[in-house]
Amino acid sequence: MARYDNILEVEPDLDGAELRIGIVMSRFNANVSEGLLGACTAELVKRGVQESGMLLVTVPGALEIPLALQRMALTDQFDALVALGAVIRGDTYHFEVVANQSASGVAAVQLDTGIPVANGILTADTDDQALARMSQKGVEVAQVALEMANLLRELDEVTQ
């Protein structure tokens, strides 16, 4: 819904038809990652993304996600990428290192390559918290990937 009559506005668009989505999933905390993946891919299909338009790559943990995303982004084969994983607090400082560095890496990939990356790496204090959030987060990152892919396409059209 446009806010002004005289200003061109790009509206949110969650249509996945014709979009190619790359997904990088951590195998660490596999039960949560698999839950994120199931919810994400179900939402992508619901929004029109063909299963043949998706590529899933798995990596050992959250710290490896940015490198796989970067390699995928540099192929120019994807309209958007999705990062999926879970970092669950333990008794050491390692949680903060992994959570912060993986988030920084994911953000750097999209800024460096211009390919949108939806960050679905959950950070939680407990397994139960992560399990409770995984389905909703999976849906949300799918929607973010679609909206940002469509937004960039629209921006390319209106700015040329």
Q: How far apart are CA 19 and CA 53, in angstroms?
A: 7
Catalytic residue among 10, 94, 125, 126: 94
User: Of 78, 68, 47, 28, nearest to 147 (Cα)?
Assistant: 47
Catalytic-residue membership of 94: yes
Q: Can you tell me the distance from the alpha carbon of 123 to that of 121, in angstroms, rounded to the nearest whole number?
A: 7
How far lies 71's CA from each of 1, 25, 125, in Å? 37, 14, 31
Q: Which helix (H) or strand (E) holds 120?
A: strand 117-124
Report how far residue 91's alpha carbon sits from residue 106's, in angstroms, rounded to the nearest whole number.
Answer: 25
The single residue listed with the structure tokens 């903060």 is: 96
Question: Which residue numbers are catalytic?
Answer: 94
